[in-house]
Amino acid sequence: MSAKSNFDVDLAALDSWLDSPLGRYDLAWQQMQYDRSVADFFGFHAVQIGLARFPALRESRMPLRVFCATPTEASFALPAQGFCEAVVRVERPEELPFDTGSLDLVLLPHLLEFAADPHQVLREVDRVLRPEGRVIVSGFNPVSLWGLRHGLLPALLKDFLPAPCKMLSVPRLRDWFKLLSFEMDRGRFGCYAPPTRSDSWLKRSAFLEKAGDRWWPICGAIYFVSAVKRVQGMRLVGPAWKRRSAAAPAGPVVVAPPTSTQDGISAATCRDDPARPAPNCSAPSSH
């Protein structure tokens, strides 16, 4: 039996942390965001990578929902949970077992922080997504109270977040998206409660969710961003039907001035009335 990969071990640490009150608080907020988002996306193939206990695709309407599991997670009875139809074993998220341009939606909940090469993970997602496909990324926000406690006070307060976690900021994600073919179209922050391990204090801090959304929205402990794969190229807008040529504009119309007559009668009037003698023409004289 082969030894576990670093990725598998790191996700196991995250899975253990999610059992804590703070982890359940994190999952509850993310579940609400994923349920609200995936229900509006249409296609045929959706994939979730990592977090076997987290049914991020449960509200998806796509006919084929696949879970990419680590070797340890692959032993779980995931189809019985009702949010995926197939389980695919993945050793490394940098190498996905899918054809190029074959997926419509890829979810990465808390994955990039634990991958050995997160930028390569996004490149691989870019490869397997079809044009106009979508990727959703969620993770820990370093610009938050949680990030401050985890990053600046590791010696005093150990294991506040899973130790292998390497936080990625939203501006860095946006730069990586621009380097690839993604366009970030929506995002949100959440979990504004202070960094505490107490379940009772988390409940007392529930009012901070609305206050944080209004007063310091970028300081939420968890971010949730979505990006669309854009492909530059020719776009067909329809058959080029031959249009009916417009009628040529008529040339200028020259109107001859009326011929002066002796008694104010024009020549046209004489032609219309044969009984009237033509102007300037005397009637035939009789000899």
Look up tokens 């999952």; give the residue: 27
Other CB atoms within 10 A of residue 170 CB: 19
- Dist CA 111 CA 106 (whole Å): 12
Check if the beta carbon of residue 169 is closer than 8 Å to that of residue 222: no
CA 126 to chain centre: 13
Other CB atoms within 10 A of residue 114 CB: 23
- Dist CA 91 CA 86 (whole Å): 16
pTM of the model: 0.75
Q: Dig out the tokens for 147 from the structure.
A: 């990030």
- Dist CA 180 CA 104 (whole Å): 17
Q: Where does the pLDDT of residue 154 fall: very low under 50, low under 70, confident under 90, or very high at 90 and above?
A: low
Q: Where does the pLDDT of residue 76 fall: very low under 50, low under 70, confident under 90, or very high at 90 and above?
A: low
Domains, in order of start, for the chain: 6-229 (3.40.50.150)
Strand-by-strand arrangement of the 86-89 sheet: 86-89, 64-69, 45-49, 103-109, 129-140, 222-229, 182-190
**Angle, helix 118-128 to helix 170-179, in steps of 10 degrees:** 50
Q: What angle do CA 202, 206, 211 make, to 5 degrees?
A: 130
How far is the CA of 61 from the CAs of 56, 141, 171, in angstroms?
12, 29, 31
Q: What is the pLDDT of residue 128?
A: 96
Of 163, 103, 107, nearest in space to 129 by CA? 103
Virtual torsion, Cα 80, 86, 92, 93, nearest 10 deg: -100
Q: What is the pLDDT of residue 217?
A: 83
Q: What is the pLDDT of residue 190?
A: 93
Burial class (CB in 10 A: 0-12, 13-18, 19+), 58: middle
Of 90, 75, 92, 69, nearest in space to 6 by CA? 92
The percent of residues in the chain predicted with pLDDT above 90, rounded, is 38
Look up tokens 């206050």; give the residue: 211
The percent of residues in the chain predicted with pLDDT above 70, rounded, is 71
pLDDT tens string 78-120: 554 567 788 888 888 999 999 999 999 999 999 999 888 999 9
pLDDT tens string 221-266: 999 999 999 987 645 555 555 555 555 555 555 555 555 444 444 4
Rg of the chain, C-alpha, whole Å: 37
Q: Where does the pLDDT of residue 131 fall: very low under 50, low under 70, confident under 90, or very high at 90 and above?
A: very high
pLDDT tens string 207-226: 888 887 788 888 899 999 99
Q: Where does the pLDDT of residue 201 fall: very low under 50, low under 70, confident under 90, or very high at 90 and above?
A: confident
Q: What is the pLDDT of residue 276?
A: 52
Q: Dig out the tokens for 214 from the structure.
A: 């209004």
More confidently predicted of 163 and 63: 63
Q: What is the pLDDT of residue 254?
A: 55
Q: Dig out the tokens for 94 from the structure.
A: 């940098």
Q: Dig out the tokens for 58 from the structure.
A: 């449960």
Q: Dig out the tokens for 160 from the structure.
A: 């506040």
